[in-house]
Amino acid sequence: MMRVLLLLLGLLAVAPAFAVEPDEMLADPALEARARALSAELRCMVCQNQSIDDSNAELARDLRVLVRERIRAGDTDEEVLSYVVSRYGEFVLLKPRMSARNAVLWATPLLVLAGGGLIAFLALRRRARQPAAALTEEEERTLKAVLDRRE
């Protein structure tokens, strides 16, 4: 019996700890499931690497309540996300939406790298085309002296 109790306690210890308080939960299980799914997509602005579903921060709690209010008001999932984004900015989304601005943001480092590579390639190519400068008489004498000493 003691082993079973220890096993259950061990399973509870590794279970995910959600920050949703019982007073926040919706009575309808389907609406609560939608709220949990939406909360998992929204970033806690305090913790920044946690969803509001996982965060214990007060702002995360406020956002969870806001999501549930919007769902209770009859908003679709997209309307709820759009509402939260309009208030807090796109940073609140854990997975940012694909847009032209985001595409430029992601492409800029690649474009800079490609531009730098092109500049380096053209510089090396131009350098390879230039003939080597002729040695002065002084340099020729020094070179001849070094080569004669080696023999």
Per-residue pLDDT of 63-90, as tens digits, reads 888 998 998 888 888 999 999 999 988 8
Q: Is the pLDDT of residue 21 over 80?
A: no
What local confidence, expressed as pLDDT, does residue 35 receive?
Answer: 87
CATH match for 2-92 among 1.10.1040.10, 1.10.8.640, 3.40.50.720, 2.30.40.10? 1.10.8.640
Residue 10 — very low, low, confident or very high, per pLDDT cuts 50/70/90?
low
Domain boundaries, the chain: 2-92, 100-150
pTM: 0.56
3-class secondary-structure state, position 43: strand
Task: Quote the radius of gyration of the chain (alpha carbons, Å).
Answer: 32
Residue 17 — very low, low, confident or very high, per pLDDT cuts 50/70/90?
very low
What local confidence, expressed as pLDDT, does residue 98 receive?
Answer: 82
Residue 25 — very low, low, confident or very high, per pLDDT cuts 50/70/90?
low
Angle at 32 between CA 26 and CA 33, to 5 degrees: 170
Residue 4 — very low, low, confident or very high, per pLDDT cuts 50/70/90?
low
